[in-house]
Structure 1
Amino acid sequence: METLTWIAIGVTVIILGAWYLSYSAARLDRLHAKVEGALSALDAHLVRRAETSFELATSGVVDPASAFLVAGAATESLERTNERTFEADLLEGQHFAGREAVESGLTEVLRAAFSPIVVADLRSDGGHGADLIDRLDEAFVRVQLARRFHNEAVKEVQRVRAKRVVQVFRLAGHAQMPQTVEFDDDATFLRAA
């Protein structure tokens, strides 16, 4: 009877271990999918921000020099977006391959072009310029939220993948470790007025 008890305990431990490994692998897969979805959302919001910036630059409500700089930075952001191929796994090299510098550059150009005085003038006008500034501010907020959501999802994946059981049993497979996305997306210059 003692041997049967040990066999039952061993089988139970094996079943529970297999269930735990299966559960952990499925959870990790869901977390990777969450990161991929968050990355797609961030990409979409960056495109909207660049499009709104370009529309503001070509609207005629800002001086020509600022319009030229903003249009150039927005175009560069849109071109960098179009370089990405979505046929491949989004997590492969998802550090944006230098895109962080382009997005930070767009923010810096917008900050330089739209000083608090310019923003206040556009908002006080109440016309098309005020609407575009509001849309740009909303686009910035969405980018900030999407980036924060993505980075939190990445940190959760990194935390789970750091567990010993995930590493020993290679539950992540051959998936690359996702990385956070860091760039300047501070839009306080749009609200300073």
Structure 2
Amino acid sequence: MSLPTLLAVLLALALLAWYVSFSASRLDRLHHRVEGARNALDAQLVRRAEASIELATSGALDPASGLLLADAASNALEAGESDAHVPVDLAGLDPDGTRGDREAAESDLSRALRATLDGDVTAALTADPRFGPLLARLGAATHRVRLARRFLNGAVTDAQRVRGKRLVRWTRLAGRAALPRTFEMDDDPPADLAH
């Protein structure tokens, strides 16, 4: 083998090694981004549930609406706590490979918020100086949940795209990490809830 051919082969191998190393670092950063976004979403979901419980127990709503909202928020908090105590991989799956009840509980809370905070109730609470700040806190928490979920799902989509590349699959750069999955929930806020 001539010297120029040998140098060309060595250069090609060096470029391939650099690209594999670059891809591994990028995938690691993406997995860390998914983990951070999942933690941020968890924190925002807890804040939304706490703000919902605070509003439900403040006396601002009629007893039936307050009970409905408090029950849905409590279920969401319990689902979040049970997810925190179960070892969950990067994909957000339980050890048996299924999703927990968190997404369903959070969706139920969103539906309860829409059912209890229609336009007339929201307008009356906003005008009341005792309940306006509670409603504003809930509106801000609801908005932050939507943003945090959007960031998480974007990070998951990026990680899935990189993990789908042939080189990443062939070289097994992801190791044994589970493929990240999006967090699917109904996060539509009540129509008149300001943020």
Give the alignment partner of residue 143 of structure 1, picking from 142, 145, 156.
145
Residues in 2 aligned to 1:136 and 1:104: alpha-carbon distance in whole angstroms: 16
Q: Secondary structure at the match of 1:190?
A: coil
Residues in 2 aligned to 1:105 and 1:122: alpha-carbon distance in whole angstroms: 22
Give the alignment partner of residue 115 of structure 2, picking from 112, 117, 125.
112
Residues in 2 aligned to 1:149 and 1:80: alpha-carbon distance in whole angstroms: 21
Give 1:164's aligned residue.
166
Aligned residues: 190
Contact 2:117 2:190 in 1 (8 A): no
Alignment of 1:81-100 (within 5 A): 81-85=80-84, 88=87, 90-94=89-93, 97-100=100-103
Percent identity between matched residues is: 49
What 5-or-longer segments of structure 1 have no aligned partner?
Answer: none
CA RMSD of aligned residues (A): 1.7
Contact 2:113 2:189 in 1 (8 A): no
Residues in 1 aligned to 2:14 and 2:88: alpha-carbon distance in whole angstroms: 33
Give 2:64's aligned residue.
65
Q: Secondary structure at the match of 2:25?
A: helix
Alpha carbons of 1:89 and 1:18: their partners in 2 closer, same or farther (altered >3 Å)? farther
Q: Secondary structure at the match of 1:137?
A: helix
Give 1:75's aligned residue.
74
Query: Aligned-pair distance for 1:87?
Result: 8.1
Give the alignment partner of residue 179 of structure 2, picking from 166, 177, 186.
177
Q: More helix per residue: 1 or 2?
A: 1
Query: Aligned-pair distance for 1:189?
Result: 2.4
* Matching residue's letter, 1:112: A
Contact 1:36 1:90 in 2 (8 A): no
Contact 1:158 1:178 in 2 (8 A): yes
- Are 1:38 and 2:40 counterparts? no
Contact 2:53 2:74 in 1 (8 A): yes
Contact 1:31 1:157 in 2 (8 A): yes
TM-score (norm 2): 0.91
Query: Aligned-pair distance for 1:85?
Result: 3.1
* Matching residue's letter, 1:136: L
Query: Aligned-pair distance for 1:6?
Result: 1.3
* Matching residue's letter, 1:156: D
What 5-or-longer segments of structure 2 have no aligned partner?
Answer: none
* Matching residue's letter, 1:102: A
Residues in 2 aligned to 1:50 and 1:85: alpha-carbon distance in whole angstroms: 15
